Structure 1
Amino acid sequence: MQEILIGLIVALDVVALYLLLPTVKKRFLLAVWTALLHMIFPIIGFTLGSWMVQILMQWSNLISSTLLFFIGLHLILSTQNRQIKPIPVPILAVSASLDTFSVSISFGMLNLQKYLFIVSAGIWTFLLSYISLYIAKRGHRSFKGNSLKWIAGISLISFSIYAFMNN
């Protein structure tokens, strides 16, 4: 169950970013690219995280909790300064998906269910990114991307503390 929830949490950051992009022409393509990358980067991250567990068995929980904590903190602090410039769809999808790589390293180190998280992250990301791009195109500015980043950041920090305390 936690893998599905974490998949939703990593998708929230994309929503916060994509709500600021009202002029994206290929919304469906961007949503597909982002969802696929939210699945590919975790595969790499899980593999690296599992490998690191073999090497750093006694330190893995501390390292993964620290990574999650600082990723969550980064999400919260990134709400302060936002300047979005038009960039190509593939580059935008990669930049929106890179955080799933570092998050998945932590999950690989915690030995969570890899494929459940990957599928969850891909589905949540596709749905939420397409919806947020559609909302942004319509010009609905009542949605605040900052609050979503705060929710995602606090959730990752909470999960890092929970993971640290349970080992």
Structure 2
Amino acid sequence: MQEILIGLIVALDVVALYLLLPSVKQRFLLALWTALLHMIFPIIGFTIGNMMVAFLTQWSNIISSILLFFIGLHLILSTQNRQINPIPVSILAISASLDTFSVSISFGMLNLQKYLFIVSAGIWTFFLSYISLTLARKGHRKYKGKSLKWVAGISLMAFSIYALLNYQ
């Protein structure tokens, strides 16, 4: 169950970003591309995380908790207003998905169910990306995604503390 929830949390960051983009012409393609990358980057991250566990078995839970905490903190600190210039769909999807790589390294180190998380992240990201891009086009950018970044950041930080407290 936690993998499905974490999949939703990593998708919230994309929603916060895509709500700021009212003039994306290829919304479906961008949502699909971002969802696929939200599945590919975690595969790489899980692989690296599992390799790191072999070397850092003793410290993996502490390190992954610290990584998750600072990724969550970064999400919160990145809520300041930014000017967004037109970016090609592929570059935008990659930049919106890179954080799933670092998050999934931590999840690989925590030995979470890889495929459940990957499928969850992809599905949540696709639907939430498309919805947020559609809402942005219609002018529904009231919150500008700040509250969603706060929710995602605090959720990752809370999960990191939970993982650290359950360290054996």
The equivalences for 1:50-129 within 5 A come to 50-129=50-129
Q: In 2, distance between residues paired with 1:149 and 1:143?
A: 11
Q: In 2, distance between residues paired with 1:133 and 1:91?
A: 16
Q: In 1, distance between residues paired with 2:163 and 2:22?
A: 38
Unaligned runs of 5+ in 1: none
Matched, 1:159 2:135: no
User: TM-score, normalised to structure 1's length?
Assistant: 0.98
Deviation at 1:81, TM superposition (A): 4.0
SS at match of 1:112: coil
Unaligned runs of 5+ in 2: none
Deviation at 1:71, TM superposition (A): 0.2
- Look up the match of 1:48: 48
**Residues 8-33 of structure 1: CA deviation (Å, up to 9, x unaligned):** 00000000000000000000000000
Percent identical among aligned pairs is 83
User: TM-score, normalised to structure 2's length?
Assistant: 0.98
**Residues 110-147 of structure 1: CA deviation (Å, up to 9, x unaligned):** 00000000000000000000000000000113244000
Deviation at 1:80, TM superposition (A): 1.7
Compare 119-128 and 143-152 and name the one that shifted more: 143-152
SS at match of 2:161: helix
**Runs of 4 or more off by more than 4 Å in structure 1?**
none
Q: In 1, distance between residues paired with 2:135 and 2:21?
A: 9
- Look up the match of 1:134: 134
Paired letter, 1:119: V
Deviation at 1:61, TM superposition (A): 0.6
SS at match of 2:36: helix
Q: In 2, distance between residues paired with 1:94 and 1:140?
A: 24
Q: In 1, distance between residues paired with 2:115 and 2:82?
A: 33
SS at match of 2:86: coil
Compare 76-85 and 34-43 and name the one that shifted more: 76-85
Q: In 2, distance between residues paired with 1:141 and 1:48?
A: 37
